[in-house]
Amino acid sequence: MENILIFTDGSSRGNPGPGGWGAVVVANERVVELGGGEKHTTNNRMELQAVISAIDFLIEYELLTLNFKCVVYTDSAYVINGITKWIAGWKSRGWLTLQKEEVLNRDLWEKLSYLLEDMPGDEKIKWHLLKGHVGVPGNERCDVIASTFADKKSIKLYDGLISGYFIDIKSVSYDQQKSDLRGASKQRGSAKAYSYISLVNGKVIVDKSWADCEKRVKGVLGVRFKKSLNKADETKIVEEYSKLAIL
């Protein structure tokens, strides 16, 4: 039994803000890259759209048969948990959560549910949660595609034989150093903030609350912002952004 591989990723600048999605489909020794964008969206919607578009592609071109097993790799826990844990309950309650609230992104979840019902076989898809941005070739490529569409830039999408593809798409091994750095970044993300520093239109601004910083950066293209953990950290980030502001 041969595998069809799908790698997906989504991006949103500002979350919500301009967004993009990317997918790489591997089937019949062929690689096809897919991508798209929206003017105003969220990261979760783009993560979902990437999966939907990839599966829709397989169905449209009749690449799914009983002789194939489809494996989806995504770094979105939202997608994985939604499809493997939550969606059955949502559907049984008429697309309501346990709190009797309408499911967020219901339109996309319904599309995904409909597509999965059309897939052949009993075990239609195997879902794998990847660590994001730790060097897995397919994940990194999808991130580039999604980010490029989010930034409204042009990108050439590959469609051809796997032998001519420029990355080792079948590899799901990751870079341990990148993984360690990613873990440190997550720890930093959960730590209490001292301040928030942003770089908007060449101006460096320090805010004491995320609410104030968020108003400034949300939905704005090209901004940078970072949380500081103490005064020394704040000074370091301000210096870093000040250098960028004069480039």
State the catalytic residues.
9-10, 47, 75, 133, 143
Helix, strand, coil in percent for the chain, rounding step 5: 40, 25, 30
Residue 195, φ and ψ in degrees, nearest 5: -165, 175
∠ CA 156-162-168 to the nearest 5 degrees?
85
What is the separation, in whole angstroms, between the first and last Cα of the chain? 54
Closest CA to 102 of 114, 110, 111, 94: 94
Maximum Cα interatomic distance, the chain, rounded to a whole number of Å: 60
Residue 148 near residue 140 (C-beta atoms within 8 A): no
Q: What is the 3-state secondary structure (H, E, C) of 38-94?
A: EEEECHHHHHHHHHHHHHHHHHHCCCCCCCEEEEEEECCHHHHHHHHHHHHHHHHCC
The amino acid at residue 125 is I
Task: Give the span between the Cα atoms of 180 and 31, in whole angstroms.
Answer: 30
Task: Give the span between the Cα atoms of 222 and 199, in whole angstroms.
Answer: 9
Residue 204 near residue 39 (C-beta atoms within 8 A): no
